Structure 1
Amino acid sequence: MRGNHSRKSSEESRRNLIHDSLVELRCHFTWELVIKDNYMPDLEAKILETEFLDTNYNMGMHNLMAYVRHLKGEQEEALQSLKEAEALIEGEQLGKRSLVTWGNCAWVHYHRGSLAEAQIYLDKVENVCREFASPFRYRMECAEIDCEEGWALLKCGGSNCTRAMACFAKALQEEPENPEYNAGYAITAFRMDFSNEISLEPLRKAVRLNPEDPHLKVLLALKLQDLGKQDEAEKHIEEALPKIPSRNNIFGYVAKFYRRKGCVEEALEFLERALKTKPSSVYLHFQIGLCHKSRVFQIKEATNMHPKGKDRERADQSIRSAIYYFEKTLDLKPTYERAYIDLAEMYAESKQFEEAEEAFQKVLSMLSNLEVHMQQEIHFRYGKFQQFHMKSENIAITHYLKGLKIEVTSIFRDKLLKALQKLAERRMQQNVHVLESLSLLGFVYRLKGDTRKAMSCYEKALRLTEELNPEF
């Protein structure tokens, strides 16, 4: 009995020693990747459909897939992904980057209870750290690992993006002209650029350093389009198109460019081509829905917002198609908040107001889990629905104000300010709720930084209050 106890104690001691070494590693198991449970299937799909740019990126995706499979309890499948990553490790130039793969291998073997195998991979890491004179036994500070951490964080999306950007920025401090580090930084900046300010120059530089990468060219084109630089944007799209492989999700971004340009038919051609190779793509179904939605508003604008006869039939058909594709998007991904908003707006166009309200309520119930810029957008679009479809200006004002209380700079903050200002000014012209409207205008001017106009509105409101309540 004493011998068994001694062996167990020795085994436990060894396990603790190995664990202490493992936590020093820089790999997916120590990066604190935030992956929500409902995002896991979507993440797996994104990893599988990633168009690998080069060997390093390919290895990074195998590493990330191994970590996802570990989280699902699939340790053997995780090891298989790591074997595929290990097969790509060759040559001295990959020595530093191999640390991530070997670190992941050590962790998976540790979780399987294979302590001897875990130690083998720890020894491999230690040898590389010694070779590159790292001051740490199992850890190395280097741009290669910063970059892989950045890609992993970026792929996990959401709240990880800020940290991803910091990782790429750190790598760029070491190698400012590295093409991959600049690509990672630019793509992350594009994802986080809700005010059209931060990603243009990083994208320009990334395209200069990666001239054969169509993905970066398309993202730059979209950003230039945002900024009204249509001719330059068109040039990059035309240069990118011949370089895009047939099986590629970049076509979804190309379609977005043409849809926003007003060329809905061209956008649908690209999307339908892409959908043939990826029939379960959430993004592609959503983009097709947006194309049909755009067609609805094109028809309305061409008929002074009142389509009749054949135009009405075409508009109704486009509404039905948009609803179909947004519903299909939500079948594939029930947590896709943007699809709920667009679905609700199409229901409203077809006067299915109960269904529209239900879709809006679903996305409103998700607010606490969404990024702040998205919360702003939802309050704006629900406010517009209440104001123009339900004729409930009070509810609209409530949501415009909720959106403005979220202190983040975005295009929807500007839209919220304009919507609230127009509503307040119209009410004043109609002599309706004048006191409240003056206060709202003062609030809008204050947020815009126009102190003089804000004070003028507040003073008028104060005088009106005194006139209405002379005893005070």
Structure 2
Amino acid sequence: MAFSCPTKTMAQSSLKISLQGLECHFTWKLDYSRSKLQCLRETMIDISSSEGFQCSWAGHLYNLLAYLHHALGSTEDALQCLKKAEEAIRQSSPDDVELSLVVHYGNLAWVHYHQGELTESQNYVEKVGKLLQDNPCPDINLLLKLRDHKMAFSCPTKTMAQTSLKISLQGLECHFTWKSDYSRSKLQSLRETMIDISSREGVQCSWAGHLYNLLAYLHHALGSTEDALQCLKKAEEAIRQSSPDDVELSLVVHYGNLAWVHCHQGELTESQTYVEKVGRLLRDNPCPGVVWGEKAWTLNKFDVSKRKEALDYFQMALNGDPENKVLRCGYAMAFNTSVDRKNITPKLRSEMLEQLCIARELDPEDVYITVMYLERLAESGQVEEALKLAEEVTEKPMDSFGGFGLLLTFYRDHVSHDSSIDLARRTLERHPDSRQLKRHLGKCYKWKIFSPEEKRNPMRHILIENAVKLYEELVALYPKSLAAKLELSAMYKESGSVDRADKIFEDLFLDREGMEPQDLQKFYNWYAKHLFYAKQNTYRSIDFHKKAAEIMLPTRQHDSSIRVLLSTVHNRGHRAEEIVDFLDGLDGEGDVGQFYTFFPIKC
């Protein structure tokens, strides 16, 4: 694909970061309901239109009214009110008029930005910056904000300093401002994955600094500040080692993270120091590709739903540094994971292969890129070539396990289950302490155990016994992993130890109050299947499928439970009428109707 990121788009992105750091009505979270905004606008209009209207707050009133007009779609009225606001402020504050206009200039910057007038907007942003350079925490800003929120006018010096600093922090580009506020269980799961990658002896990769920065954020988000600081130290070491030519600019995101961590620790001076350091670095480089590259890498790791956004940031980064092999490889990986396999057309697959080919030429030692490439080769019909390349990969010492899961999947799909198990075992023998490899081997066991051909194998029980032992070890290695516990329960069931599987579900049921919605949905779905297949308790199974379906998250478990319920209705099973009423009650948003095509209800 072409790397199209016009200068205007980059300028808008850079300007938007600066705008978010302003102290004005557009950043004070006044995003109330439309009816409330309309009601407040009418009140402000009544006050401002009263005959002889003059008061010390006139400028503030017109600024607020301008924001309300703009929020409700009346840009011209907003501009007229901003003009009146400036006139009123200049009249009421002749001694220190420019400083009194800081909020006003912020509002003007936002309005011009929304109108696409970037130059005018940037001018007002710079004007605010100059005014605040010698007055980082003007009392007038805070008073205006408190007035508009109908709050008491009390603000000790320390609180004012924190407020001023927090505004600056919100404008930084780093992990703390990239909207990574996912569920605790998701953060824990990602932290475990990052720990697995980072704890490999001698881990060295072009993304090591990004990895430690992300891991630092995850530690901090989960309450481990000391671990976060240790990871930030490792991040800086890795970045300085991998980017000797332009190291300070490569540390912009890292310094932003440090600013946030020190702020949360109450170390305001240290935090302010890092904020100012970022400001100096970005003064001459308003859109550094290294920032967009790290943001892209982080988003790509965090969430499947963020991968298309990650792709855009990689494109922005490459626009300024098209020959950067790290960014090219990152783009190729993000591009190849941005579309579900079922939605990949021959044309799109060809484009993916082309990007992977470019990335391989730039970095032939990157195992992840190579495995992605051979996978796409096989999908395009070039299986023999892909197999030959896979053999070359497995013959080399594998010090990095990036892409190893994909490689095992490739062997499972194109050779055999035994070949994937053999590869996982051989690699684990060379790295016996790697819990990540043990997890990969567990998946290989699971694939084979539940494959149709293996169910007819008289020696299947031996594989199941091995899997039980391994999964028991994995639960000990990943004590907070719901997936490991559920998979162990499945292995117990297959081994005939239903009582031990029951115990896992009973313990999880007692802990369900502390589960995040997605984990709870997964637990209910698995428990429903266990009750049906292992306990032959159809009635309770339906109860738990209903519980899973009630949690309206678009997951495989949700779809699975809906399908089971619809299948029960379709086959006129027990409680069919009750299930129909239940599903009709859920279908207000159309989440269930999509499945009726597959399971038409019999009358």
Matches within 5 A, 1:114-153: 121-132=274-285, 134=286, 141-153=287-299
Residue 470 of structure 1 corresponds to none
Residues 210, 298 of structure 2: 8 Å contact kept: yes
Query: Match for residue 281 of structure 1?
Result: 434
TM-score normalised by L of structure 1? 0.68
Aligned residue for 1:340, secondary structure, equals helix
1:194, 1:410 within 8 Å by CA — same for their partners in 2?
Answer: no
Separation in structure 1 between the aligned mates of residue 579 and residue 180 of structure 2, nearest angstrom:
46
Structure ID, larger Rg? 2
Name the CA distance, whole Å, in 2 between partners of 1:13 and 1:410: 44
Unaligned runs of 5+ in 2: 1-155
Q: How does 1:285-300 map to 2 (within 5 A)?
A: 285-297=438-450
1:52-451 matched pairs, under 5 angstroms: 52-54=204-206, 57-65=207-215, 67=217, 71-73=224-226, 77=230, 80-84=233-237, 85-92=239-246, 96-105=249-258, 121-132=274-285, 134=286, 141-155=287-301, 157=302, 162-163=305-306, 165-172=308-315, 175=318, 180=326, 184=330, 187=333, 196-197=342-343, 204=353, 206-211=355-360, 212=364, 213-219=366-372, 229=379, 231-232=381-382, 235-236=385-386, 238-243=388-393, 245-249=397-401, 250-260=403-413, 263-297=416-450, 301=453, 311=458, 314-362=459-507, 365=511, 369=515, 372=518, 378-405=523-550, 415-416=560-561, 419-420=564-565, 423-424=568-569, 446-450=593-597
**Cα distance change, pair 403–83 in 1 and its aligned pair in 2 (3 A):** closer
- How far residue 329 of structure 1 moved from its aligned partner, in angstroms, is 0.8
> What residue in structure 2 maps to residue 468 of structure 1?
none
Task: Indicate how the Cα distance of structure 1 residues 99 and 420 shifts in structure 2: closer, same or farther if over 3 A, else same.
Answer: same
Is the 1:189–1:198 contact (alpha carbons within 8 Å) kept by the matching residues of 2? no
User: 1:54-108 CA deviation, whole Å, 9 max, x = no partner?
Assistant: 2xx233234345556774325873564254133444325x664332234345556
Distance 1:16 1:328 in 2: 48
Q: Is the 8 A contact 2:196 2:436 kept in 1?
A: no
Distance 1:294 1:27 in 2: 39
Quote the residue 2:87 is aligned against: none
- SS of the equivalent of 2:175 reads coil
User: Do 1:285 and 1:325's aligned partners in 2 also have CA atoms closer than 8 Å?
Assistant: yes
Pairwise CA distance, 1:224: 8.8
Structure 1: how far apart are the matches of 2:418 and 2:539? 39
Q: Choose which of 193, 196, 199 in structure 2 pairs with 1:45.
A: 196
How far residue 381 of structure 1 moved from its aligned partner, in angstroms, is 4.0
Distance 1:233 1:361 in 2: 46
State the alpha-carbon separation in 2 of the partners of residues 147 and 128 from structure 1.
17
User: In structure 1, how many angstroms separate the alpha carbons of the residues matched to 2:354 and 2:550?
Assistant: 35
Q: Decide whether the 8 Å contact of 1:341 with 1:363 is kept in 2.
A: no
Shift of the 28–234 alpha-carbon distance from structure 1 to 2, 3 Å rule, reads farther
CA contact (8 A) 1:404 1:417 kept: yes
CA distance in 1 between partners of 2:524 and 2:341 (Å)? 17
Residues 230 and 42 of structure 1: CA distance in aligned 2, closer, same or farther (over 3 Å): same
Contact 2:296 2:314 in 1 (8 A): no
Q: Relative to 1, partners in 2 of residues 1:72 and 1:446: Cα closer, same or farther, differing over 3 Å?
A: closer
Give the letter aligned to residue 210 of structure 1.
Answer: A
Amino acid at match of 1:392: N
Quote the offset at 1:332 in angstroms: 0.4
Q: Contact 1:110 / 1:118 at 8 angstroms: preserved in 2?
A: yes
Deviation (angstroms), 1:340: 2.0
Measure, in 1, the Cα distance between the counterparts of 2:338 and 2:228: 34
CA deviation string 1:378-405 (max 9, x = no partner): 5554333322321122223334444445
Paired residue for 1:26, among 151, 169, 173?
A: 173
Aligned-partner Cα distance in 2 for 1:335–1:234: 41
Deviates more, 1:389-398 or 1:28-37: 28-37
Superposed displacement of residue 369, structure 1: 4.5
Distance 1:108 1:346, change over 3 A: closer
Post-superposition offset of 1:301: 3.9
What TM-score does the superposition give when structure 2 sets the normalisation length?
0.55
8 Å contact 2:311–2:335 — kept in the other structure? no
Structure 2: distance between partners of 1:192 and 1:357: 39
Tell me the SS of whatever aligns to 1:73.
helix
Shift of 1:181: 5.1
Change in 2 beyond 3 A, CA 1:28/1:245:
farther
Q: Which moved more, 1:94-103 or 1:336-345?
A: 94-103
Given that residues 217 and 236 in structure 1 are in contact (C-alpha distance below 8 angstroms), is that contact kept between their aligned partners in structure 2?
no
Deviating more after overlay: 185-194 vs 319-328: 185-194
Give the superposition deviation at 1:359.
2.4
Number of residue pairs the alignment of both structures matches: 420
* Aligned equivalents of 2:210, 2:382: Cα separation in 1: 33
Shift of 1:321: 0.9
C-alpha spacing 1:72/1:172, structure 2 compared with 1 (3 Å): same
> 1:442-471 deviations in whole A, cap 9, x for unaligned?
9999443539944xx3xx3xxxxxxxxxxx
In 2: Cα distance, 1:119 partner to 1:440 partner: 55
Partner SS for 1:210: helix
Q: Any gaps of 5 or more consecutive residues in structure 1?
A: 1-8, 135-140, 461-472
Question: Residues 100-120 of structure 1: CA distance to partner in whole angstroms, max 9, x if unpaired?
Answer: 234345556777888777666
Equivalents in 1 of 2:228, 2:575: separation in Å? 65
Identity of aligned residues (%): 20
User: CA separation of 1:74/1:411 partners in 2, compared to 1, >3 Å: closer, same or farther?
Assistant: closer
